[in-house]
Amino acid sequence: MNKQLLFVKRPQGEADASTWSLVTTPTPEIEEGQFLVKQHYVSLDPAMRGWMNDARSYIAPMEIGSVMRAGSVGEVVASKNPKFKVGQYVAGTGGVQQYAVTDGKGFYPVDPKLAPLPTYIGSLGMPGMTAFFGIQEVGKIKAGDIVVVSGAAGAVGSIVGQIAKIKGCHVVGIAGGADKCKYVVDELGFDACIDYKNEDIKARLKEECPKGLDVYFDNVGGEILDAVLGRLRLHARIVICGAISQYNNKEAVKGPSNYLSLLVNRASMTGIVVFDWADRYKEGAEQLGIWMAQGKIKSREDIYEGIENFPQTYNRLFSGDKMGKLVLKVIEE
């Protein structure tokens, strides 16, 4: 049997238990060209909240009644597709369910001997690719840059900051809570971390970036974005990766009041979507893999168990009650 989490109601504001429905269906049969993935882990990402809205975006909105969209990693347990063999491990967008049938579109092989499976939906998956290409291709970091990263303890931000350190930048993280900040500095090697839940962001930014900053990688939007805009240096680059502070708004998004700092400083603000670098994921994963093997990049997953616990696990994305990449184990052993 296959436990599946269906998306059954578009939320207004925060998603809650009524957003999804857990159903049990027969494990599906596969047709010619398809294969069956026994999913071990699914990825939980802030972007999920956007997929729930019935609005034009970089990807089609989820349809009511469909399996909750999610990145996933697991094992091929049946195959009528010559490119994917039984026993092979694969990652893709299998959704929140225990078994996924696919024709292989968007799936690619992964090697559990090289890295633990959850890493393939974290630092070596979409979050890692987002960080790798976003901070380099759009942030255009170079040695000596002052780089600020919000969501610094999170799946994307933690990698962004570590790459910036490798590239010779001075890196300041922003995260929620003393524990996360300690992790960001002590474990990930950022130069400093601002605790937005307990510190005055503006004052601390001034302290940590007395000469301003060159690059800001934004995962959160809202007041933090405004505070950072107030400290841009000439020709600064802001990478807009997300805006988690705004995703559950029932009212309009808070636009950045300080956006005219872009004019004063001839700075730019550019949005990114990881799919644009799909043809270079291999390059990104290889380089990240090398850095991980060298100990230059640390990857941390926060793993919860049980598909039935998806809703409360999902909430951790927004409460911040997690450390590193949020992952749910959906396999039952």
Positions touching its own copies (CB under 8 A) are 56-58, 221, 226, 240-243, 246, 252-273, 276
Give 293: exposed, middle or buried? Use CB within 10 Å, 0-12, 13-18, 19+. Answer: exposed
Whichever of 268 and 312 has its CB closer to its own copies, that residue is 268
Nearer to its own copies, 59 or 290 (CB): 59
Q: Judged by CB, which is closer to its own copies: 167, or 254? A: 254
Least distance to its own copies, CB of residue 26, Å: 38
Give me the torsion for CA of 180, 182, 187, 192, rounded to 10°.
Answer: 100
Q: Please, what is the minimum distance in Å from the beta carbon of residue 184 to its own copies?
A: 24
Grouping H, G, I as helix, E, B as strand and the rest as coil, residue 322 is coil
Q: How far is the CB of 259 from its own copies (least distance, A)?
A: 5
DSSP-derived secondary structure letter, 146: E
Q: Tokens 């910036």 belong to which residue?
A: 164
Identify which of residues 265 and 315 has a Cβ nearer to its own copies in the complex: 265
Q: Which is nearer to its own copies, 272 or 330 (CB)?
A: 272
| DSSP 8-state symbol, 200 | -
The least distance separating its own copies from the CB of residue 239, rounded to whole angstroms, comes to: 10
Spatial distance between the Cα atoms of 46 and 301, rounded to a whole number of angstroms: 15
Euclidean distance between CA atoms 300 and 306, whole angstroms: 19
Q: Report, in Å, the least distance between residue 94 CB and its own copies.
A: 24
Strand partners, 238: 216, 269
* Residue 244 main-chain phi, psi, to 5 deg: -60, -25
d(CA 223, CA 26): 47
Question: Could you tell me the smallest distance in angstroms from the CB atom of residue 212 to its own copies?
Answer: 10
d(CA 333, CA 318): 29
Q: Which is nearer to its own copies, 66 or 257 (CB)?
A: 257
Shortest Å, Cβ 279 to its own copies: 15
DSSP string, 231-279: TEEEEEEEEE---GGGTT-SS-----GGGGHHHHTT-EEEE--GGGGGG
Q: How far is the CB of 14 from its own copies (least distance, A)?
A: 18
Burial of 65 (0-12, 13-18, 19+ CB in 10 A): exposed
Would you say 276 or 286 has its CB closer to its own copies? 276
Of the two residues 251 and 332, which places its CB atom closer to its own copies in the complex? 251
CB of 325 to its own copies, least distance (A): 20
Q: Which one, 226 or 302, has the nearer CB to its own copies?
A: 226
Which residues, in sequence order, are bridge partners of residue 37? Answer: 76, 100
Listed in sequence order, the residues at least 6 apart from 81 whose beta carbon sits closer than 8 Å to its beta carbon are 33, 34, 35, 103, 104
